[in-house]
Structure 1
Amino acid sequence: MTDIGHNSDVHGIARDHLRAFVERIERLDEEAKALNDDRKDVYGEAKSMGFDVKILKKVIALRRKDEQERMEEDMVLDTYLQALGMIVAPTDEKD
């Protein structure tokens, strides 16, 4: 029988490497949870000062996008809202 070593299982997986990956991922998960808790605290603080958290989240999402992407999305949104009769199409005003 071939000796595969103490660091591997019968399928050739290096246990120490696998364990290291799992532990790194677990640490990252813990860090992500801590960051999410911090973010939740900041939103709570903003809310306690009278800011609308739902709108604040929308502002943050918009800031992540570049101007061209926002403009394209706004044009499509306006088109959909006009088609549904939720807004009036702008009129062309010519002098």
Structure 2
Amino acid sequence: MSDDRLRGLVQRIQRLQAERADISKDISDVFSEAKAVGYDTRIIRQLLKRLAMRSEDRHEADEMLERYEADVGITGSSTPHVDMAPRHREPFVAPAGATSEEQLRAIISKMLELRAERVEMNAGMALELKRARSAGFDPRKIVEACMWIEKCDKHGRPQMLAAEELFQIYREIGEGPRPEPRVEGDSKLVEMFAGPAPAEKKAPTLKQRKVSDALAYAQISRKNRGLT
């Protein structure tokens, strides 16, 4: 990575940080204005938080809050909330000669089942990565290694290694010229981008140096005499 590119990235980050600071100050000013005219800023913050929620999530949170308040004796009477656990749905399989509605119901049933499994798997993977971090490993590298192994299982390790070598060629070309570039891989790609190998430069001979000096002196002499 070139210094210019790094400098550009840092400058962009600095500009965004400055904009974020300005926006934070503007938000603070609006809260101050609301407080000055008699509004409760704590309630406004709660309102903003609720507005950011989806309507179904907001409704579910309201129901849960009412139940918890009842449990601790703030309002109403305590009611068991066993139904707050994830609802168990019986899987629906479309029968032979199913109608369009039954086919759609079966698809939705399967999708819900798969989505529930995905939630559990994501939670399990997050827990494993948390344990990895606690043990001193880099979770991102673990994810990258898993993705690499999955691709090897899908495409074969030799093909993945060949693809990695080809990617290295593109990366070296994208980073620009380097001293003594070493390009390996697909011969056609090398031919297209690398070009012919540069000829080895040899030191000029004594005769060549004398001729070069004579030409230089002649050019200086012509300029001194006003000749082009």
Match of 2:5 in 1: 17
Please tell me whether residue 39 in structure 1 is matched to residue 32 in structure 2. no
Paired with 2:48 and 2:26, the residues of 1 have a C-alpha distance of 16
Post-superposition Cα deviations, 1:32-90, rounded to whole Å, max 9, x if no partner, equal 10011011111101100000011011111111112111001111222222222222238
Paired with 1:89 and 1:66, the residues of 2 have a C-alpha distance of 28
How far the C-alpha of 1:15 sits from its partner, in A, is 1.7
Post-superposition Cα deviations, 1:16-36, rounded to whole Å, max 9, x if no partner, equal 111111111110000010011
Match of 1:52 in 2: 40
Please tell me whether residue 84 in structure 1 is matched to residue 72 in structure 2. yes
Higher-helix-fraction structure? 2
Paired with 1:17 and 1:87, the residues of 2 have a C-alpha distance of 61
Higher relative contact order (Cα pairs below 8 Å, separated by 6+ residues):
1
Structure 1 runs, 4 residues or longer, greater than 4 Å off: none
Q: TM-score, normalised by structure 2?
A: 0.33
**Residue correspondences, number:** 79
Structure 1 residues without counterparts, runs of 5 or longer: 1-12
63-72 or 29-38: bigger deviation: 63-72
Match of 2:205 in 1: none
Aligned amino acid, residue 27 of structure 1? R
Q: TM-score, normalised by structure 1?
A: 0.73
Structure 2 residues without counterparts, runs of 5 or longer: 80-228
Given that 2:67 and 2:78 are in contact with CA atoms closer than 8 Å, whether structure 1 keeps it comes out as no
Look at both structures and tell me which one has the larger radius of gyration over its CA atoms.
2
73-82 or 45-54: bigger deviation: 73-82
